[in-house]
Amino acid sequence: MMDNPDSARIKSTDMPESMQSIAVDCCAAACERFKEERDIAKYIKNEFDKKYGGTWQCVVGKNFGCYVTHRKNHFIYFHLYLNAVLLFQADENQQQHEQV
């Protein structure tokens, strides 16, 4: 049995709290279903594509660097269980983005 998803450590985000909770819960569900990081990332990405529309990007792993341009209020980076999770929606509109 895995730890409670309440143990998630949010490292950086600009998402509303309700969306953050959904991201963590979605990750916890993916970790229960899958063992491979790629499958966990695919599950989270597909769930956010369905729930919020647009095209989301998700990276799951134990060690990676990143620098992304994202749509405002659509970015979260957190740790849950043994994985780091980066989830964001890219925005092609140059006036509505942030880089982290």
pTM: 0.86
CATH number of this structure's domain 11-93: 3.30.740.10
Alpha carbons within 13 angstroms on the beta-carbon side of residue 3 total 11
As averages over each run of 10 residues, the pLDDT of the chain (100 residues) reads 72 97 98 97 98 96 92 96 95 60
Alpha helices (H) along the chain: 17-33, 37-52
pLDDT of res. 85: 98
Q: In terms of DSSP bridges, do strands 9-13 and 97-99 run parallel, antiparallel, or are they unpaired?
A: unpaired
- d(CA 4, CA 80) in angstroms, rounded, equals 9
